[in-house]
Structure 1
Amino acid sequence: MGHRTQTIEPREPSTTSVLTEPSYAAQILTVTARLLGFTAQTINIWQLERDLTTAADAVCGTLPEAVRHDASTRARASLPPLPLGTQAHDYAEQLRSAATGL
């Protein structure tokens, strides 16, 4: 009787786990919301842009440029309006809500 060896091949993630993971765009919005949640100030477009860029770097920094660009573009397209005088923590809640739709 011969001896059989079993090779262990890397497993791909299951379809269920892939479908339940938030998209990269949703993750960018969630991380941006977390960054904005650290301040009690009003938010401006420059702070939002800085935090979006930081979030995109954190979420997609090791991914191919095409994936990073697509995720960043989708996240930015889902941004709620930013009226003057909006509190950062209020906008962070809006970002979390927008992320659930992605």
Structure 2
Amino acid sequence: MADLTQPPDIDEALRQLIEQPSYGAQVLIVTARMLEMDPAEPMSDRAGGLAMTIAIDAVLGTLPQVVSDDSVDRATRALPDLAGDITRGEAALRLRAAAKDLG
């Protein structure tokens, strides 16, 4: 529990805020986590779409619509190429790398 008798450490709060991934990056990370549940399965558009839908709802569901829309747009623009004969595990690795680049 926080010590309410002391003023908050503003520098620490700002550091934590700056180090947190953006909402768009969080969507990509959660999408990757969903795909990692069956890493050996082949990647498909259906699996990717379902994982992304769940991630968007989990990460952005309580945010204002304008923030959600912007974050979805950023995540979508950062999506790596997931086409071809890859597994969901490989797709998850690519999503995590894209999330890191997105910040």
TM interval, shorter chain, is 0.7 to 0.9
- Write the deviation string for residues 46-76 of structure 1: whole angstroms up to 9, x where unpaired: 2111111100100011001111111111111
RMSD between aligned alpha carbons? 2.1
Provide the residue aligned with 2:15 in structure 1: 16
Provide the residue aligned with 2:79 in structure 1: 79
User: Does the Cα contact within 8 Å between 1:28 and 1:52 map onto a contact in 2?
Assistant: yes
Provide the residue aligned with 1:51 in structure 2: 51
Provide the residue aligned with 1:42 in structure 2: 42
User: Does the Cα contact within 8 Å between 1:32 and 1:51 map onto a contact in 2?
Assistant: yes
TM-score, with normalisation over the residues of structure 2? 0.83
Q: Work out the number of aligned pairs and report it.
A: 96
Structure 2 alignment gaps of length 5 or more: 1-5
TM-score, with normalisation over the residues of structure 1? 0.83
Provide the residue aligned with 2:99 in structure 1: 99
Paired-residue identity, %: 37
- The ranges of structure 1 where at least 4 consecutive aligned residues each deviate by more than 3 angstroms after the TM superposition are 8-13
